[in-house]
Amino acid sequence: MVQGYVQIAIFFAVVVAVVKPLGIYMAKVFRGERVFLTPVFGPAERGTYRLLGVRPEEEGQDWKRYAKSLVVFSLLFWILLYLILRTQGLDPWNPRGFHAAPWDVTFNTVSSFITNTNWQYYGGEVTLSYFTQMVGLAVQNFVSAAVGIAVLVALIRGLAARSRKSLGNFWQDVVRILLYVLLPIAFVGALVLASQGVIQNLSGYSVIHTLSGGTQILGQGPVASQEAIKLLGTNGGGFFNTNSAFPFENPSGFTNVVEMFLILIVPASLTYTYGRMIGSQRQGWAIFSAMAVLLIAGTVVAFVAEQHGTPAQHLAGLHTQALEGSTGGNMEGKEQRFGIASSALFTAVTTATSTGAVNNAFESLTGIGGAVPFANLGFSEVIFGGVGSGLYSMLLYAILAVFIGGLMVGRTPEYLGKKIGAREIKLVALGVLVTPLTVLLAAGLAAATPAGTRSLAAGFTPQGFSETLYAYLSQANNNGSAWAGYTGFIQPHSPGNAGAYGITFANLLGGLVLVSARFLPILFVLAVAGALAGKKVSPAGLGTMRTDNPTFVFLLLGIVILVGALTFFPAILLGPVVQGLSTRLF
């Protein structure tokens, strides 16, 4: 176990080392300043503005116009992606001759990729052509990530502004985020992964005559270019059905750590960018600390629980302790090259951020190990969270914490010198509550109706309940990982994906949850940004509650845990906790 803790500690140390340089770099990008890549991408940037017909310097947008541009942009991409997916049979680079998936599955998939979720009812290698993966889905991995970051940047500008209305220009933000942040890092990441064995080609599937005389068909495709942005943009949708557990997506212990690094660097560094843009690094580190405490706690719990093994294994007479040359632990649904520590770490990192890529099977986690993804999602993806979305959600919690703290000590609540009034706190409360409410409503509906329980693999058991709850937790929080027994798409393995059909209820409910739990909070966040932008900044005095010290970090943690626990504790008891405390089999 000691070696496992060493891996985990070194990984976190490397991430922390990147936070400052990348944070400073992104602050420059968001402020429109010159960076070292300007000579490379500057012409493309200016050309794009001309093509789009925008003059960013002259066209600052208030929150409503910023939101309008964002909604128009996302809606048009929704339509474009739907068309690409539904015309798959006509498009090129389709060596397996896959037909388009049915309308209901497509509705779910499109909503999922537009919202940075990448929840997948389909298996990539038995459903999608290379064209669809590249031109359809991978593009959304960039775009939805850029939208999330843009909303954060607008909120930060609102917090930092001194009595003005403009939150910046949406089009400029998206273009600069894509060109200077996401594309260069994804490009380098893709080449590193491809050099290590993540495939990158447009060949047909390989038919292999194996060493002992059998036949094995190996899926191929442009995987590395999609893999890098899948992680960097906290998207998580696998090219292959088994995602980052499949060796062509994640071939070694080294690529595994590269993938986790790609997941965390942007969300972690954005806390530094935040501190820089509001003019106080301590504020950024305070938020970072609150996030880091929860992430490390989740990682350790998952590691210890998975090392223990499961009731089913122990009752079968298997010894799960470490032996010489074996880690022991719950290796069901895990890969030898990752073992227990790197699987537990990946699990915590991918669910704390809203990534949802997996390198092991969540459905096979131990009860308590499985409670970690539940808790991370139950906290509404604020533990680093999605790129942009994690921090903007956390800032809503920070404002809520200031408000509650202010009530407790009888002071007017202020955040960064801005008085928090009734309008702001109403918007914040709506922004914080809309996602958990969506989850509980949708999961309740799905668990209680025959149309919903058709999707279950594990039937009416605690495991089946976990499948349902996690499905809607994951979609509402835009994570995308799954207790994979829960299905909305029945796919017999036959040529061209013939005979496949969707479970309409799961697809539609999921699609509506995805869209509303992404875009409603975004609108509330932008409204908060607009309300705060117009406020004066009052100087800090003796009566000001500080938001950059350990007391505030503690208060913030308390609020996050309280809201998450009050909302989800009863539901989580019925699933993973029952499984963790019982040695009964179902």
Partner 1 sequence: MRGLGKELRTGAIAAVAITLALGLLYPLVVTGISQVLFPGAANGSKVSFDGRVVGSRLIGQEFKGKAYFHSRPSATEYSGDATFFANVGPNSKEGREDVRENLAAYLKLNKPYDRSLTKADVPVDAVTHSASGVDPQISAANARIQAHRVAAVRGLPPAEVEALIAAATEGRGLGVFGEPGVNVLKLNIALEEAAPLQ
Tell me which residues in 122-181 interact with partner 1 (CB under 8 A): 123, 125-126, 134-136, 138-139, 142-143, 171, 174, 178
Comparing C-alpha atoms, which of 291, 334, 324, 391 is closest to residue 16? Answer: 291
Phi, psi of 171 (to 5 degrees): -65, -40
Among positions 119, 338, 489, 568, the unique one binding partner 1 when judged by CB under 8 A: 338
Enumerate residues 465-484 that contact partner 1 by CB under 8 A.
483-484
Indicate the residue among 327 and 438 with the shorter CB distance to partner 1.
327
Query: What is the Cα–Cα distance from 74 to 14, expressed in whole angstroms?
Result: 34
Asked if 477 and 518 touch (Cβ cutoff 8 Å), the reply is no
Give the integer Cα–Cα distance in Å for 201 and 220.
7
Q: Which of 212, 279, 409, 541 binds partner 1 (CB under 8 A)?
A: 212
Closer to partner 1 by Cβ: residue 438 or 481: 481
Q: Show the site string, 1-40: x = touches partner 1 by CB under 8 A, - = not.
A: -----xx--xx-----------------------------
Helix (H, G, I), strand (E, B) or coil at 162: coil
Place of tokens 């408000």: 403
Tell which one of 39, 58, 90, 210 touches partner 1 (CB under 8 A).
210
Nearest residue (CB) to partner 1, 366 versus 516 = 366
**43, 46, 162, 206: which one binds partner 1 (CB under 8 A):** 206
Beta 215-218 vs 418-419: how paired, if at all? unpaired
Closest to partner 1 by CB, 208 vs 407, is 208
Residue 436 bridge partners (DSSP): none
Pattern of binders to partner 1 over 341-370, x per CB under 8 A? xx----------------xxx-xxxxx--x
User: Sign of the CA dihedral 528, 531, 533, 536?
Assistant: negative
Instruction: Kindly state the smallest distance separating residue 106's Cβ from partner 1, in Å.
Output: 17
222 forms beta bridges with 200
**Contacts of 535-540 spanning 24+ positions with Cβ under 8 A:** 535/163, 535/418, 535/419, 536/162, 536/163, 536/418, 537/162, 537/416, 537/417, 537/418, 538/414, 538/417, 538/418, 538/419, 539/417, 540/417
Answer yes or no whether residue 289 interacts with partner 1 by CB under 8 A.
no
Residues 373-432 that bind partner 1 (CB under 8 A): none
Question: 54 or 425: whose CB is closer to partner 1?
Answer: 54
Binding residue for partner 1, selected from 22, 26, 156, 186, defined by CB under 8 A: 186
Does residue 312 belong to the site contacting partner 1 (CB under 8 A)? yes
- Of the pair 134, 555, the CB lying nearest partner 1 is at 134
Expressed in angstroms, the distance from the first to the final Cα of the chain is 30
Q: Which of 246, 374, 403, 568: binder of partner 1 (CB under 8 A)?
A: 246
Q: Give 32's contacts (C-beta < 8 A, 6+ positions apart).
A: 56, 172, 176
Q: How far apart are CA 230 and CA 259, in angstroms?
A: 9
Decide whether 483 or 552 has the Cβ nearer to partner 1: 483
Is residue 503 part of the contact set for partner 1 (CB under 8 A)? no
Closest separation in Å from C-beta 452 to partner 1: 18
